[in-house]
Chains A and B, each alone.
Chain A
Amino acid sequence: MIKKSAEKIYTGLIVLFMYAPIVTLMVLSFNNSKTRAKWGGFTFKWYAALFDNQAILQALSNTLSIALLSAAAATLIGTAATLAISGMGRRSRAVFMSVTNIPMLNAEIVTGISLMLLFLSFGIRFGFGTILLSHITFNIPYVILSVMPRTKQLNPSVYEAALDLGASRFQAFFRVVFPDLLPGIVSGFLMAFTMSLDDFIITHFTKGPGVDTLSTKIYTEVKKGIKPEMYALSTLIFLTVLILLLLVNYRPKPQDAAIPGAERTQK
């Protein structure tokens, strides 16, 4: 009994630790005073101001389009690669998996500057495109590592049975194999989307002047003082995701692995 409550208290403290800054930001988004240090009363004015702040809205749109496009491209390339890798011999598979692990295990700063040097050397103009290419690069491993466990669970006889029963290779793949892979693909996509959205370091080194994502915009604002609209925007994003997650998780029908990260926790 004592042990049970000790466990609950401990878990609670960790959750408190993880969420204290988030709650702080939410409170700040309603703060009428412009400085962080003082509480100036409750207000909604930053939420109203947010929709007039073109710079922030532009950064938000960049962030979302990069996240969406890079996650989609990474899902496509990564899923194809996973299927190919799972059909490879032991040695080539090991080589491919080691290369896949490089962006995961390497420091983000090293990945960032390595891509920066690449773009510099080949004279590629820094901007939206270079950020997108970089994000696809670090997103592919997340997709591969999400889909890989699913390919291991596949039963090849089912695919062969479909072929024997007269399905074309396309039909057999998309109607028999693909549905089994889908949860892994979806969770890989969502993981990639989240990673792209939260990335700062790699974007910092591969962005061009004039193009900002929310992260890089916040970083430049840190020195001059963050605009409170930014707190309002983060609060809105956070609450949206929280509500979506609650809806997905507490749907009456049990659903497996449509949530980022869920795939991995099942292993």
Chain B
Amino acid sequence: MRKKMSKKPESPRISYFNQTAMTAPYLFWAVAFIIIPLLMILYYGLTDKSGAFTLVNVAAIATAEHAKALWLALGLSLVSTVLCLLLAYPLALILARRQVSQQSFLVLIFILPMWMNFLLRTMAWQTLLEKTGVINAVLSFLHLPALNLINTPGAIILGMVYNFLPFMILPLYNSLTKIDPSVVNAAYDLGANGTQTFCRVIFPLSIPGVISGITMVFVPALTTFVISNLLGGSKILLIGNVIDQEFTQAGNWHLGSGLSIVLMAFILVNMVLTGIFDKNGEGTAL
């Protein structure tokens, strides 16, 4: 299938206006504000205050405090990503199956919440989860014991799932709607039951969407410092919090950059994975 697509003749190219003049602003912008800044992280991360080359800042990830923050961030973001996938897949299936255009519904669920500031939305979960919060009030009304919800790893996972779920729904929905219905019908005609059709036809065809969604959720979840700050209290430190503190409080840019290089390694693995599954290079992600 993929081979066939790459053999497809490219659509005729046409250049409007002067190709160089059109490219120049973006080329300048990309070099000045995307590529050079990333090189600066590499420079700061691999040097010490006197400017001499060192690996100390990158190796600092191995210290107990930093390693703990990284493992915790990895663990929480993995759990959140899996939860997002499990929650989003059925919804994407439901939406993709409907005949009517679901455009407005997707806008409703995906775009509209963004107009309410994301810090406020996350903070609102404090109000819901607190000891005296809404959820515990409901529980005590039902004569159930109160739960300790806020400032736990669970609260952080909830915040991650809440904030990043739309990033999973959209790529899944996009890849599911691209599946040719006649392929699914053919599977049924050839005697496959619902489960078989799903496992052997629908799911394999939706894998590019799954990969996109995983990337879109995993990276922001792994690197967040806001959600852990708001819902985890000050005791739970993720790798994002450590880097944020190095830059905004400790002022140690070299150490902060060194730890960021470690983060970038994880992101790079993710980008390569996405690249493999997204052959067109168009980013089905959003």
- What residues of chain A have their CB less than 8 Å away from a CB belonging to chain B? 7, 10-11, 14-15, 17-22, 24-25, 28, 36-37, 77-78, 80-81, 83-90, 93-94, 96-111, 113-118, 120-121, 133-134, 136-137, 140, 142, 145, 148-149, 152, 154, 156, 159-160, 169, 173, 177, 194-195, 197-198, 200-201, 204-205, 214-215, 218-219, 222, 226, 230-231, 234, 237-238, 241-242, 245, 249, 259-262, 264-267
* A110 partner residues in chain B, CB cutoff 8 A: 38, 41, 223, 260, 263-264, 267
Inter-chain contact B19/A84, CB cutoff 8 Å: yes
| Closest chain A CB from B242 CB (angstroms) | 11
Inter-chain contact A265/B173, CB cutoff 8 Å: yes
Inter-chain contact B15/A117, CB cutoff 8 Å: no
* A160 partner residues in chain B, CB cutoff 8 A: 14
The interface on chain B, measured as residues whose beta carbon lies within 8 A of the other chain's beta carbons, has a size of 98
- How far is it, in angstroms, between the C-alpha of A80 and the C-alpha of B267 when the chains are bound? 29
Inter-chain contact A114/B223, CB cutoff 8 Å: no
Provide the B164-177 mask, 1 if CB < 8 A to any CB of A, else 0.
Answer: 01100010011000
> Given A87-B14, A107-B223, A114-B38, A142–B286 Cβ distance below 8 Å?
yes
Closest A residue to B25 by beta carbon equals: A77
Inter-chain contact B112/A241, CB cutoff 8 Å: yes
Closest A residue to B11 by beta carbon equals: A152
Inter-chain contact B13/A86, CB cutoff 8 Å: yes
Closest B residue to A142 by beta carbon equals: B286
Inter-chain contact B116/A22, CB cutoff 8 Å: yes
* B250 partner residues in chain A, CB cutoff 8 A: none
Q: CB within 8 A of A105: which of B16, B17, B87, B274?
A: B274
Inter-chain contact B37/A90, CB cutoff 8 Å: no
* B141 partner residues in chain A, CB cutoff 8 A: none
| Closest chain B CB from A20 CB (angstroms) | 7
Inter-chain contact B107/A245, CB cutoff 8 Å: yes
* B119 partner residues in chain A, CB cutoff 8 A: 200, 215, 218-219, 222
6 example contacts (A-B, Cβ-Cβ < 8 A) are as follows A18-B165, A90-B10, A136-B33, A237-B115, A259-B104, A265-B102
